[in-house]
Copies of this chain bind each other. A is one copy, B any other.
Amino acid sequence: VTAVPHESATGALEVLRTRSVVRHYTGEPVEESQIQQLVTAMLAAPSASNKQAWAFVMVRRRALVRGVRAFSPGIIGDPALILVACVDNRRAADDPHVREVATRCVAMAVQNFLLAAHALGLGACPVSSFLSEPVQLLLDLPPQVDPVFVVPVGHPAGRRQSSQRRSAEEVVHHDTWTA
C-alpha cells in the first residue's frame, strides 16, 4: 500500500476544504497542460464494478461554448470551456439501479474535476439545470449518451462565494440516528 506523503495529505485536505463554486470567469483561456491534469484527475474517480459507463466532452470552440450555454440556465458567466459529463448507457445494463449507480460515478468524476480545477487556480461550477436534448444534438452525442452535468470552467473573476452550511452536528449522526 502506497502511503501519501504528509505534505501532499495536508495540501489535499486544504483543497477539499476550500473548493467552492465559481460562477464568473475572466476571458483568459485554460492551458492545454491544465486540461490534461483535469482529465487525469477526473478519470481516476471510482467506477462501480469498473464499468466506466461514462463519456465526457470538453467543449472549447467558442460557438459551441455559446451554444451549450444558451441551453443551460444554470450557467451564469462566460466560461473558457464547458465539460459535458455523461452516462454512456451502452455500457450500463438496461436496469434502473445500474443506471443510477453509473450516474453516481459520473458525479464522483465531476467532483474530482472540480477539485483539480480548484487546485490549479481555476474556478468551476457543477450545473444540473440544462436542456439535455438540445445539448445532445449540438454536440452530436449518440442517443444513448445522456449528459448529466454541464460544468463551466475558467479563471475566476471577482470574489469566491462560500455557502452557509448546516452544522456537522445537524447532519452527521453517530452509530444510529438518535444515539
Verify if A12 is at the interface (C-beta below 8 Å from B).
yes
Alpha-carbon distance between A123 and B177 when the two chains are bound, in angstroms: 25
Supposing A9-B11, A118-B4 touch, asked if A43 and B173 sit within 8 A by C-beta, the answer is no
Alpha-carbon distance between A108 and B50 when the two chains are bound, in angstroms: 18
Copies in the complex: 2
What B residues does A7 contact at CB under 8 A?
Answer: 7, 11
Verify if A30 is at the interface (C-beta below 8 Å from B).
no
Alpha-carbon distance between A48 and B32 when the two chains are bound, in angstroms: 29
What B residues does A179 contact at CB under 8 A?
Answer: 140
Choose among B9, B15, B40 the residue that contacts A9 (Cβ–Cβ < 8 A).
Answer: B15
Q: A157-172: which have CB < 8 Å to B?
A: 158-160, 163-166, 168, 171-172
What B residues does A149 contact at CB under 8 A?
Answer: 104
Supposing A8-B10, A12-B12 touch, asked if A175 and B57 sit within 8 A by C-beta, the answer is yes
From residue A136, how far is it (CB to closest CB) to chain B in Å? 9
CB-nearest residue of chain B to A3 = B121
A46–B60 contact, CB under 8 A?
Answer: no
What B residues does A103 contact at CB under 8 A?
Answer: 100, 103-104, 107
Alpha-carbon distance between A163 and B46 when the two chains are bound, in angstroms: 9
**7 A-B residue contacts at CB 8 Å?**
A17-B40, A45-B111, A48-B128, A52-B165, A104-B128, A108-B110, A139-B176
